[in-house]
Amino acid sequence: MTKSTAHDEKRLGVAVVGAGYWGPNLVRNFQSSPAFRLHWLCDLDIDRARRVLGSYSTVRATADYAEVLADPDVHAVAVATPAGTHLDVALAALRAGKHVLVEKPLAATFEDGERLVAEADERGLTLMCDHTYCYTPAVARIRELVRGGELGQIHYVDSVRINLGLVQKDIDVLWDLAPHDLSILDFILPADVRPVAVAAHGADPIGAGQACVAYLTLQLSTGAIAHVHVNWLSPTKVRTTMVGGSRRTLIWDDLNPAQRVALFDRGVDLTTPHDLGADERRDALVSYRTGDMIAPALGEREALRAMVDEFAGAIRERRPALTDGRAGLRVLDILEAASRSLEFRGAVVGLRAGTGRTPRTEPLGGRR
């Protein structure tokens, strides 16, 4: 056996399903990964798949998904098809014994996502959600700082994702843009801090048929608050996240390559002990703490490549991926609750993922 043949046998065979917007990015990263060997690109439009692969590729193009699943050399499938097809495509792959990577969102509904998670668990297979932003050097460092206690107790998170974007026909701005911010929030929060309820407000000032501007407010289990602003109609592009803690505050500006992450030793302190009664604390004096600003050094690495490496690591080590199916399920939970909140004019809606509760059909507090 030659050295190259032995190396190929150690690589995981993978197929990409979907040659549209995101599929070509997956194709490029799987082809360049030493952990994978890309065998197939599957798309209903086989000519589009062939264009993505180019004339000299040894990767096979097909419109027949069954042919992909029947290939014993395919150990994993990456799904980059419309969200409404995720359940059928991913479920078929799991039932064929393949590990599955699904682009966001995990599925079109929470119930569909639960079916995928349950199927993967039953078969002992890896199910991973492609929350790409979580694999950027900036977000990886933010997770380290937050979970390492550098910020202290989290008081608030404020995220803005606005631009003059493509108005979608089938989903509103929440389902289009907020999954990025919600997946990041899920990724960076300490393990003992989780969202428990959400309220959402949206507007459709141009008559597009769905919300084009929206605001989400999340109640966290510690009493802290998280806020997400998404907008298709902004003339300027803004991608910022602020995480405020009891010790320090962190600001991430994704559009500032010179200083993406900044850590501020500035904040507000009470000058009296916390064990005073409510009336006494009301009269307490506030002091302002002003310290240094630090910009941590960040490595340079393509997020999608890091995500592909994590997929391989989760498969080989038989462990949950950092953004596994349950992470995708938690994001779906918030999105569905936000949609219900919009229907009830901003009412607070309880979350269900990971709580063991029966899903709520009415917002907390009833109609408004």
Regarding whether 63 and 154 lie in a shared domain, the answer is: no
Type of residue at 62: T
Regarding whether 221 and 77 lie in a shared domain, the answer is: no
Model confidence at 2: pLDDT above 60: no
Regarding whether 186 and 119 lie in a shared domain, the answer is: no
Report long-range pairs for 65-69 (Cβ below 8 Å, ≥24 apart).
Answer: 65/17, 65/89, 65/92, 67/40, 68/15, 68/17, 68/40, 68/42, 69/93, 69/96, 69/98
- Please give the pLDDT value at position 33: 96
Residue 364 lies in a domain: no
Residue 358 lies in a domain: no
- Please give the pLDDT value at position 153: 94
Q: What is the pTM of this model?
A: 0.87
- Which has more confidence, 48 or 299? 48
* Token pair for 204: 């459709």
- Please give the pLDDT value at position 292: 75
Regarding whether 249 and 151 lie in a shared domain, the answer is: yes
CB 26 within 8 A of CB 304: yes
Regarding whether 277 and 215 lie in a shared domain, the answer is: yes
Regarding whether 150 and 97 lie in a shared domain, the answer is: no
Mean pLDDT of 139-150: 96
Residue 12 CA to chain centroid, in angstroms?
A: 24
Model confidence at 119: pLDDT above 70: yes
pLDDT in tens, 213-242: 999 999 999 999 999 999 999 999 999 999
Type of residue at 86: H
DSSP element (H, E) containing 264 = strand 261-270
- Which has more confidence, 333 or 298? 333
- Please give the pLDDT value at position 330: 96
Regarding whether 140 and 259 lie in a shared domain, the answer is: yes
Q: Cβ of 215: how many Cβ atoms within 10 Å?
A: 18
CATH number of the domain that 40 lies in? 3.40.50.720
Instruction: Give DSSP secondary structure letters for 38-85.
Output: EEEEE-SSHHHHHHHH-TT--SEEES-HHHHHT-TT--EEEE-S-GGG
- Please give the pLDDT value at position 215: 98
Tell me which residue of 26, 27, 33 sits closest to 11, measured CA to CA. 33
Regarding whether 84 and 154 lie in a shared domain, the answer is: no
Regarding whether 172 and 283 lie in a shared domain, the answer is: yes
Domain region containing 13: 3-131+304-324
* Token pair for 209: 């048929």
Q: Is the peptide bond before 82 cis (omega within 30 degrees of 0)?
A: no
Q: Give the pLDDT band (50/70/90) at residue 165.
A: confident
- Which has more confidence, 193 or 294? 193
pLDDT in tens, 45-88: 999 999 999 977 889 999 999 999 999 999 999 999 999 999 99
Lowest mean pLDDT among 76-80, 264-268, 284-288: 284-288
Mean pLDDT of 144-158: 96
- Please give the pLDDT value at position 299: 83
Number of folded domains that form the chain: 2
Mean pLDDT, all residues of the chain: 89
Q: What is the rounded CA–CA span in Å between residue 95 and residue 74?
A: 13
CATH number of the domain that 147 lies in? 3.30.360.10
pLDDT in tens, 304-347: 999 999 999 999 999 999 999 999 999 999 999 999 999 999 99
- Which has more confidence, 291 or 144? 144
* Token pair for 22: 């995101």
Edge-to-edge order in the sheet of strand 36-42 = 60-62, 36-42, 12-17, 76-79, 99-103, 127-130
Regarding whether 157 and 261 lie in a shared domain, the answer is: yes
Regarding whether 143 and 269 lie in a shared domain, the answer is: yes
